Amino acid sequence: MLGGTTGASQLAQALHQAGVPAVFSYAGVTQAPLAQPLPVRVGGFGGVPGLVQYLVDHGITHVVDATHPFAAQMSRHACEACVMAGVSLLALERAPWQSGPGDQWINVPDMAAAAAALPAEPTRVFLAVGRKQLQAFAGLGQHHYLLRLVNAPAPDGLPWPDASVDLEIGRGPFSAEHDLALLQAHRVQWLVAKNAGGEATRGKLDAARALGLPVVMVQRPALPQRARTEDVGAVMHWLRHGVLPSEDVSAGTP
Protein backbone atom coordinates (compact mmCIF):
# COMPACT_ATOMS: atom_id res chain seq x y z
CA MET A 1 0.00 0.00 0.00
CA LEU A 2 1.24 3.44 -0.97
CA GLY A 3 0.03 5.51 1.94
CA GLY A 4 0.00 8.84 3.66
CA THR A 5 -3.70 9.73 3.87
CA THR A 6 -6.42 9.20 6.46
CA GLY A 7 -7.91 6.55 4.18
CA ALA A 8 -4.57 4.76 4.07
CA SER A 9 -4.48 4.54 7.86
CA GLN A 10 -8.05 3.22 7.92
CA LEU A 11 -7.15 0.61 5.32
CA ALA A 12 -4.05 -0.39 7.29
CA GLN A 13 -6.27 -1.13 10.28
CA ALA A 14 -8.64 -3.19 8.14
CA LEU A 15 -5.79 -5.17 6.58
CA HIS A 16 -4.26 -5.85 9.98
CA GLN A 17 -7.57 -7.00 11.48
CA ALA A 18 -8.20 -9.29 8.49
CA GLY A 19 -4.71 -10.78 8.69
CA VAL A 20 -3.83 -9.73 5.15
CA PRO A 21 -0.03 -9.65 4.61
CA ALA A 22 0.76 -6.12 3.53
CA VAL A 23 3.42 -3.41 3.61
CA PHE A 24 2.67 0.26 4.24
CA SER A 25 4.94 2.55 2.18
CA TYR A 26 5.51 6.16 3.22
CA ALA A 27 7.20 8.67 0.94
CA GLY A 28 9.22 9.96 3.90
CA VAL A 29 8.29 13.64 3.54
CA THR A 30 6.59 13.96 6.93
CA GLN A 31 8.66 13.63 10.07
CA ALA A 32 7.26 11.19 12.66
CA PRO A 33 4.38 9.85 10.54
CA LEU A 34 1.47 8.12 12.21
CA ALA A 35 2.26 4.68 13.58
CA GLN A 36 0.71 1.85 11.60
CA PRO A 37 -0.23 -1.76 12.50
CA LEU A 38 1.56 -3.04 9.37
CA PRO A 39 5.23 -3.36 8.44
CA VAL A 40 6.37 0.04 7.18
CA ARG A 41 8.92 1.09 4.58
CA VAL A 42 9.94 4.72 4.11
CA GLY A 43 11.36 6.48 1.06
CA GLY A 44 11.19 6.38 -2.71
CA PHE A 45 11.66 3.36 -4.94
CA GLY A 46 14.01 4.84 -7.50
CA GLY A 47 11.43 5.63 -10.16
CA VAL A 48 9.40 3.15 -12.16
CA PRO A 49 12.24 0.60 -12.59
CA GLY A 50 12.87 0.54 -8.85
CA LEU A 51 9.18 0.09 -8.08
CA VAL A 52 8.90 -2.74 -10.62
CA GLN A 53 11.89 -4.44 -9.01
CA TYR A 54 10.38 -4.05 -5.54
CA LEU A 55 7.08 -5.58 -6.65
CA VAL A 56 8.83 -8.53 -8.25
CA ASP A 57 11.34 -9.11 -5.45
CA HIS A 58 8.65 -9.10 -2.76
CA GLY A 59 6.06 -11.11 -4.65
CA ILE A 60 3.49 -8.30 -4.51
CA THR A 61 0.19 -9.27 -6.16
CA HIS A 62 -1.92 -6.16 -5.39
CA VAL A 63 -1.08 -2.47 -5.00
CA VAL A 64 -3.41 0.06 -3.38
CA ASP A 65 -2.52 3.67 -4.16
CA ALA A 66 -3.77 5.57 -1.12
CA THR A 67 -1.43 8.53 -1.56
CA HIS A 68 -2.51 12.18 -1.45
CA PRO A 69 -4.48 13.23 -4.56
CA PHE A 70 -1.65 15.66 -5.37
CA ALA A 71 1.10 13.03 -5.18
CA ALA A 72 0.84 12.79 -8.95
CA GLN A 73 4.31 11.46 -9.71
CA MET A 74 3.95 8.51 -7.33
CA SER A 75 0.52 7.67 -8.73
CA ARG A 76 1.77 7.82 -12.31
CA HIS A 77 4.73 5.63 -11.41
CA ALA A 78 2.40 3.13 -9.73
CA CYS A 79 0.21 2.89 -12.83
CA GLU A 80 3.20 2.28 -15.10
CA ALA A 81 5.00 -0.10 -12.76
CA CYS A 82 1.95 -2.26 -12.08
CA VAL A 83 1.37 -2.73 -15.81
CA MET A 84 5.01 -3.70 -16.32
CA ALA A 85 5.01 -6.10 -13.35
CA GLY A 86 1.58 -7.57 -14.06
CA VAL A 87 0.27 -6.46 -10.66
CA SER A 88 -3.33 -5.38 -9.95
CA LEU A 89 -3.74 -1.71 -8.97
CA LEU A 90 -6.56 0.09 -7.19
CA ALA A 91 -6.68 3.70 -6.05
CA LEU A 92 -8.26 4.52 -2.70
CA GLU A 93 -9.10 8.12 -3.49
CA ARG A 94 -11.50 10.49 -1.76
CA ALA A 95 -13.81 12.57 -3.94
CA PRO A 96 -12.85 16.21 -4.55
CA TRP A 97 -14.68 18.97 -2.74
CA GLN A 98 -17.49 20.75 -4.57
CA SER A 99 -18.45 24.37 -4.08
CA GLY A 100 -21.88 25.15 -2.69
CA PRO A 101 -24.14 28.09 -1.95
CA GLY A 102 -22.21 30.91 -0.30
CA ASP A 103 -18.79 29.74 -1.52
CA GLN A 104 -16.59 32.18 -3.41
CA TRP A 105 -14.21 29.80 -5.17
CA ILE A 106 -11.74 30.69 -7.89
CA ASN A 107 -10.81 27.37 -9.51
CA VAL A 108 -7.28 27.25 -10.93
CA PRO A 109 -5.28 24.41 -12.55
CA ASP A 110 -1.99 24.70 -10.66
CA MET A 111 0.08 26.62 -8.12
CA ALA A 112 1.36 29.19 -10.60
CA ALA A 113 -2.23 30.07 -11.47
CA ALA A 114 -3.11 30.19 -7.77
CA ALA A 115 -0.35 32.75 -7.16
CA ALA A 116 -1.57 34.80 -10.12
CA ALA A 117 -5.13 34.76 -8.76
CA LEU A 118 -4.19 36.61 -5.56
CA PRO A 119 -4.66 40.38 -5.56
CA ALA A 120 -1.73 42.67 -6.31
CA GLU A 121 -2.32 44.79 -3.24
CA PRO A 122 -1.11 43.47 0.15
CA THR A 123 -3.54 41.09 1.86
CA ARG A 124 -3.55 38.37 4.50
CA VAL A 125 -3.51 34.87 3.03
CA PHE A 126 -4.03 31.46 4.63
CA LEU A 127 -1.79 29.44 2.34
CA ALA A 128 -3.00 25.87 2.96
CA VAL A 129 -0.98 24.15 0.24
CA GLY A 130 1.78 22.33 2.11
CA ARG A 131 5.46 23.14 2.51
CA LYS A 132 6.60 21.84 -0.88
CA GLN A 133 4.39 24.28 -2.81
CA LEU A 134 5.40 27.53 -1.12
CA GLN A 135 8.01 28.49 -3.71
CA ALA A 136 5.25 29.26 -6.22
CA PHE A 137 4.35 32.25 -4.04
CA ALA A 138 7.91 33.43 -3.40
CA GLY A 139 7.50 36.48 -5.63
CA LEU A 140 4.47 37.73 -3.68
CA GLY A 141 6.27 39.15 -0.67
CA GLN A 142 3.76 41.96 -0.24
CA HIS A 143 1.29 39.62 1.46
CA HIS A 144 1.18 38.34 5.03
CA TYR A 145 0.88 34.56 5.15
CA LEU A 146 -0.61 32.09 7.61
CA LEU A 147 0.88 28.61 7.14
CA ARG A 148 -0.32 25.43 8.80
CA LEU A 149 2.30 22.67 8.55
CA VAL A 150 2.68 19.23 10.10
CA ASN A 151 6.37 19.88 10.83
CA ALA A 152 8.15 23.13 11.60
CA PRO A 153 10.20 24.33 8.61
CA ALA A 154 13.96 24.80 8.72
CA PRO A 155 15.11 28.34 9.66
CA ASP A 156 15.76 29.13 6.00
CA GLY A 157 12.92 26.99 4.69
CA LEU A 158 10.45 29.77 3.89
CA PRO A 159 10.66 32.10 0.87
CA TRP A 160 9.65 35.25 2.80
CA PRO A 161 10.96 37.12 5.86
CA ASP A 162 9.80 35.82 9.23
CA ALA A 163 7.82 39.00 9.82
CA SER A 164 5.58 38.11 6.85
CA VAL A 165 4.58 34.68 8.16
CA ASP A 166 2.49 33.25 10.98
CA LEU A 167 3.08 29.54 11.60
CA GLU A 168 0.63 26.99 12.98
CA ILE A 169 2.11 23.53 13.53
CA GLY A 170 -0.43 20.73 13.75
CA ARG A 171 -1.93 17.62 12.20
CA GLY A 172 -5.61 17.34 11.30
CA PRO A 173 -8.45 16.73 11.53
CA PHE A 174 -9.49 20.34 12.13
CA SER A 175 -13.10 21.28 12.78
CA ALA A 176 -14.90 24.19 11.14
CA GLU A 177 -15.14 25.85 14.57
CA HIS A 178 -11.39 25.54 15.09
CA ASP A 179 -10.62 26.97 11.67
CA LEU A 180 -13.15 29.78 12.02
CA ALA A 181 -11.37 30.89 15.19
CA LEU A 182 -8.00 30.52 13.43
CA LEU A 183 -8.98 32.65 10.45
CA GLN A 184 -10.48 35.31 12.69
CA ALA A 185 -7.47 35.41 15.01
CA HIS A 186 -5.10 35.93 12.07
CA ARG A 187 -7.45 38.29 10.22
CA VAL A 188 -7.27 36.16 7.10
CA GLN A 189 -8.71 37.73 3.93
CA TRP A 190 -7.92 35.06 1.31
CA LEU A 191 -7.58 31.27 1.41
CA VAL A 192 -5.53 29.17 -1.02
CA ALA A 193 -6.16 25.42 -0.85
CA LYS A 194 -5.57 22.22 -2.81
CA ASN A 195 -8.71 20.27 -3.64
CA ALA A 196 -7.72 17.27 -1.53
CA GLY A 197 -11.25 16.23 -0.59
CA GLY A 198 -12.19 14.40 2.61
CA GLU A 199 -13.41 15.60 5.97
CA ALA A 200 -10.17 15.99 7.91
CA THR A 201 -9.24 19.38 6.46
CA ARG A 202 -12.46 20.75 4.97
CA GLY A 203 -13.11 22.86 8.08
CA LYS A 204 -11.17 25.75 6.55
CA LEU A 205 -13.60 25.83 3.62
CA ASP A 206 -16.62 25.98 5.90
CA ALA A 207 -14.92 28.74 7.88
CA ALA A 208 -14.13 30.71 4.72
CA ARG A 209 -17.76 30.41 3.63
CA ALA A 210 -18.97 31.66 7.02
CA LEU A 211 -16.65 34.67 6.77
CA GLY A 212 -17.41 35.38 3.11
CA LEU A 213 -13.77 34.93 2.07
CA PRO A 214 -12.59 34.20 -1.48
CA VAL A 215 -10.98 30.77 -1.90
CA VAL A 216 -8.41 30.02 -4.59
CA MET A 217 -8.95 26.29 -5.17
CA VAL A 218 -6.17 24.39 -6.93
CA GLN A 219 -7.59 21.48 -8.91
CA ARG A 220 -6.08 18.01 -8.89
CA PRO A 221 -3.45 17.00 -11.44
CA ALA A 222 -4.54 14.71 -14.24
CA LEU A 223 -3.75 11.03 -13.68
CA PRO A 224 -3.98 7.93 -15.89
CA GLN A 225 -7.30 6.12 -15.90
CA ARG A 226 -7.37 3.44 -13.20
CA ALA A 227 -9.85 1.61 -11.03
CA ARG A 228 -10.62 3.60 -7.91
CA THR A 229 -12.91 3.72 -4.90
CA GLU A 230 -13.50 5.92 -1.86
CA ASP A 231 -14.47 3.01 0.38
CA VAL A 232 -12.11 0.89 2.50
CA GLY A 233 -14.65 -1.93 2.50
CA ALA A 234 -14.62 -1.95 -1.30
CA VAL A 235 -10.83 -2.30 -1.24
CA MET A 236 -11.12 -5.34 1.01
CA HIS A 237 -13.75 -6.83 -1.33
CA TRP A 238 -11.40 -6.23 -4.29
CA LEU A 239 -8.55 -8.00 -2.50
CA ARG A 240 -10.73 -11.03 -1.78
CA HIS A 241 -12.59 -11.28 -5.11
CA GLY A 242 -10.51 -9.43 -7.68
CA VAL A 243 -13.28 -6.97 -8.52
CA LEU A 244 -14.94 -4.03 -6.87
CA PRO A 245 -18.49 -4.42 -5.53
CA SER A 246 -20.99 -3.98 -8.34
CA GLU A 247 -22.56 -0.98 -6.60
CA ASP A 248 -19.23 0.90 -6.60
CA VAL A 249 -19.92 3.28 -9.48
CA SER A 250 -16.45 4.86 -9.30
CA ALA A 251 -14.70 1.76 -10.68
CA GLY A 252 -12.79 2.47 -13.84
CA THR A 253 -13.38 6.23 -13.90
CA PRO A 254 -10.44 8.61 -14.21
pLDDT tens for 24-46 read 998 876 666 778 999 999 989 99
Q: What is the DSSP letter of 2?
A: B
Supply the pLDDT for residue 172.
Answer: 78
pTM score: 0.84
Give the pLDDT confidence of 151-165 residue by residue, as tens digits: 888 878 899 988 799
Task: Give all strands (DSSP E) within the chain, no chain letters.
Answer: 24-26, 40-42, 62-65, 88-92, 104-108, 124-128, 144-149, 165-169, 190-194, 214-218, 228-229
Fold type of domain 104-218: Rossmann fold (3.40.50)
Supply the pLDDT for residue 128.
Answer: 94
Question: Where in the chain do CATH 3.40.50.720 domains reside?
Answer: 104-218
Supply the pLDDT for residue 29.
Answer: 67
For 6-95+223-241, CATH gives: 3.40.50
**At a CB cut-off of 8 Å and minimum separation 6, what does 247 contact?**
none
**At a CB cut-off of 8 Å and minimum separation 6, what does 227 contact?**
89, 90, 91, 238, 244, 251, 252
Supply the pLDDT for residue 251.
Answer: 45
Supply the pLDDT for residue 60.
Answer: 97
Q: How many CA atoms does the CB half-sphere of 189 hold within 13 Å?
A: 9
In the predicted model, residues of the chain with pLDDT beneath 50 are: 248-254
